[in-house]
Structure 1
Amino acid sequence: MTGATELFALGNDAWQVRVAPALGGAIVDARWRGRDVLRPTPAVELAARNVRKTACYPLVPFSNRIAFGEFAFGGAQYTLLKNLPDMPHAIHGVGFQQAWSVGENDGRSMHMQIAHTPDARWPFAFEARQSMAIEGDTLTLGMRITNTDTVAAPCGLGWHPFFPLDTQAGETHLRTAWKSMLLSDADDLPCASVDPIDFGALDSTVVDNCFTGWSGQARIDTPHHRICVEASEALRCAVLFRPQGQAFFAFEPVSHANNALHGNDPPMQVLAPGEALEARMVMTLHALTK
């Protein structure tokens, strides 16, 4: 599907953020004091409505992969639609592939929401509300998912932000703490848990793994600025993705392990009818000291 995508702008003296609610509730670009904090969406990809090339998109009601789109829950067996071309698994939930409706929007903050009815992509009803707000040098993302079904349901959430790598200007380093790294097999599914690797510069790193026991805090030192990330307690894991030869990496705070519905810990939350799960991700920018 192609065509113009309506963009909503948030801004203050420090931040300029553009959001595309109709394109999966995604952030198109986010600049701080003239610099790209998140990977900006190329114009051609925006015109093509390619949400996976945006700066950041929501992960709801699950993160990462569900093996081959199949899982058992509550005594029933479910088969999901494989929602990306050439992908044998269901991946990243349903929120990034549908339009979000805009609620409050005052130029410094905005809210948007979706209501999902059971279908081939996900068999349980839910509502999700996403918020974005800027204040000073801080950008805050919030999300709440509510089980609107008549039965208990597994639920998860998170974000998939992409950060640019400016290798010509210098190195980018990620500093954080986590307890274990999930190794992936040939199907990109967790197969073992090991002690985490101490990464050097992300510019020379190739990685696509989920890390559990995440501290909820991280520092990203780029050649231009420092990004301090803080996440709420619900975001117990982080996925680090840096493909070879690409000028970006993704650092994804999420609520559960990859393929959690097949026994990987930590599991997805199970919400009773009417129960909600909330999470928050905060990015505060700092200028580099000389």
Structure 2
Amino acid sequence: MQGLTFSDTNQQDYGLVTIRSGPFEASFSVMAGGRLLQLMHRAYGDVLVPMDEHPYDEHDWPKAGAFPLFPYHGRLKNAAVVTEQQSFQLRGNPYRGGDAMHGPAQRRPWRIDSHSSCTLSISLEYEADEEWPYDFKAHQHFSISDRCLDVGLSLVNTSDRPSPGGIGWHPYFAIASGVPLSCDAQQCWTLPPAGSGDSPAATPLESTSFGVDPQSKQLSNWSRASFLTSMGLVSLFRKSALEYLVLHRTATYACLEPVSHLSGAFSLPRDLRPTAGIRELAPGETMLGSISILVGP
């Protein structure tokens, strides 16, 4: 396993929580950004790359487990956000060339709202700071059964002004090299160079197979992504919203990230951002999305 939290604290401070049902078990760290640390099935083994409790730099997180993406995902070039009201210069990530990356929610302690043997609900009340200029409330709900982990996400604009926003989830699936990956997405997207003024372009996909090679793609109009293990199938299902899927595969893991907008969408001119999934949330408005991870036939 790889490293975990932001400082030298004990396990109780990490807010470690486990839910389970039959052979399926999920462990979380609420204090380390509302992360899922391990998703394990007794027959299938680790579904996600497991993550342990060693300290790590909050801006250089381990490639393991899964973490929430609020209120955006991907890079904010030069850590800048331009809205209809004004421009904001945010704090950049020193490991990402000064760009901001994947939102601040994964670097904040979350709160347990409810917890049972097979469910967990956690939330984050975010106050505007140098990493994001709007207040929001984020919520993650997890429910586990013998074969499935259900994940529900929500984002509420708690500011007194309109706010751009998005939601997503960033899991690192444990996939062996040489194992083909498939997805029923209908489109693959390309974003134009920053400052060009061009619109994002979508290319129709004619095959559901993405092979075995390392690759990074932005997909849309999808409902399932899956791969076969020696014990059977692992699948990610889209239940509601989260129309886009980031596919990022390396030699040791595969990220299948269900998200509400294209990565890099904030670099587009404001009038083109809706074509890339960016929404402007009115005060009190909510975004919702849900997915499931299934193991078995």
TM-score (norm 2): 0.84
Q: For residues 124 and 231 of structure 1, do their structure 2 counterparts lie closer, same or farther at Cα, with a shift above 3 Å needed?
A: same
Report 1:137-176 matches (<5 A): 137-167=147-177, 171-176=179-184
Kindly state the Cα deviation for residue 88 of structure 1 after the two structures are TM-superposed. 2.8
Residue 200 (structure 1) shift:
4.1
**Matching of residue 210 in structure 1 with residue 218 in structure 2:** yes
1:259 to 246, 264, 267: 264
**1:226-245 to 2 correspondence within 5 Å?**
226-243=233-250
Secondary structure of 1:235's counterpart equals coil
> How far apart in 1 are the matches of 2:85 and 2:231?
52
1:277, distance to aligned residue in structure 2 (A):
0.5
> Cα distance 1:86–1:218, how it changes in 2: closer, same or farther (>3 A)?
closer
Matched, 1:117 2:127: yes
Match of 1:249 in 2: 254
- The one-letter amino acid paired with 1:101 is R
| Aligned equivalent of 1:279, options 281, 289, 296 | 289
Alignment of 1:15-34 (within 5 A): 15-34=24-43
CA-CA distance at 1:253 after TM superposition:
0.4
* Structure 2 residue matching 1:96: 3-state secondary structure: helix
Q: Contact (CA 8 Å) 1:165, 1:172: kept in 2 or not?
A: no
CA distance in structure 2 between the aligned counterparts of 1:241 and 1:23, rounded to whole angstroms: 23
Q: CA deviation at 1:84?
A: 4.9
Q: Which residue number in structure 2 is paired with residue 178 of structure 1? A: 186
Structure 2 residues without counterparts, runs of 5 or longer: 1-6
State the 1:225 CA deviation: 2.4
User: Displacement of 1:58 after TM fit?
Assistant: 0.5
Give the whole-Å Cα distance in 1 for the aligned partners of 2:234 and 2:200. 31
Contact 1:114 1:127 in 2 (8 A): yes
SS in 2 for 1:85: helix
The equivalent of 2:4 in structure 1 is: none
**Residue 192 to residue 147, structure 1, CA distance change in 2 (3 Å):** closer
Secondary structure of 1:61 counterpart: coil
Q: Distance in 2 between matches of 1:81 and 1:154?
A: 18
Percentage identity across aligned positions? 22
Q: Which amino acid letter does the alignment assign opposite residue 7 of structure 1?
A: L
Quote the offset at 1:249 in angstroms: 1.1
Asked if the contact 2:78/2:98 (under 8 Å) is kept, the reply is yes
Q: Indicate how the Cα distance of structure 1 residues 260 and 48 shifts in structure 2: closer, same or farther if over 3 A, else same.
A: same
Give TM-score scaled by structure 1 length: 0.86
Gap regions ≥5 residues in structure 1: none
What amino acid maps onto 2:28 in structure 1?
Answer: V
Q: How much is the aligned-residue C-alpha RMSD, in angstroms?
A: 2.3
